């Protein structure tokens, strides 16, 4: 494993763990639930 390989692997692992923490923290705390349950799609040409 080179230094780049270690960084690469740990960065991917960190991203996956962060994704799980983000999802499950929101699920268990149920914060930030949008009051509007009918999000509109973006209009044509709208910046993303």
Partner 1 sequence: MSELARRTGWATRFGLIMAMSGNAVGLGNFLRFPGKAAPYGGAFMIPYFLALVLLGVPLMWIEWTIGRHGGAHGHGSAPGMFHRLWRRPISKYLGIFGILLPAMVGIYYIYIESWSLGYAWQTAVGSYWDQTSVKAMRGVFHNYLGIGEGPLSFSGQAYGFFLVAFLLNIAIMSLSISKGIEFVAKYAMPALLVLGVVLAARVLTLPPVEGRTIADGLAQIWHVKDWSVLAKPDVWLAATGQIFFTLSVGLGMVHSYASYLHKREDVTLSGLAACGTNEFVEVILGSTIAIPAAVVFFGVTHTQEIVAGGTFSIGFHALPVIFQQMPAGQFFGTLWFLLLFLAGLTSSMAMFTPLLLFLEDELRIPRKKAALCIGAGVFLMMQPVVLFMHHGMVDELDYWMGDFGLVLFGAIEVTIFAWIFGLDRGWKEMHLGADLQVPRIFYYIMKYVTPVYALTLVAWYVRRSLWAKVSMEGVAGADVPYLWLARLMILGVAAFLVWGVWYAWRTHPKFFEGADATEDAP
**What residues line the site for partner 1 (CB under 8 A)?**
1-2, 4-6, 8-9, 12-13, 16-17, 19-20, 23-24, 26-27, 30, 32-34, 37-42, 46, 48
Nearest alpha-carbon partner for 22 in 37, 34, 12, 32: 32
User: Least distance in Å: CB of 22 to partner 1?
Assistant: 8
CA angle in degrees (0–180, nearest 5) for 30-35-36: 130
User: Least distance in Å: CB of 26 to partner 1?
Assistant: 6
Are 42 and 48 in contact by the 8 Å Cβ rule? The answer is yes
User: Least distance in Å: CB of 35 to partner 1?
Assistant: 11
């Amino acid at each position: 494993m080179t230094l780049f390989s270690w960084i690469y692997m740990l960065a991917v692992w960190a991203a996956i763990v962060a994704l799980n923490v983000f999802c499950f923290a929101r699920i268990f705390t149920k914060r930030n639930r949008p009051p509007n349950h009918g999000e509109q799609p973006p209009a044509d040409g709208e910046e993303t």
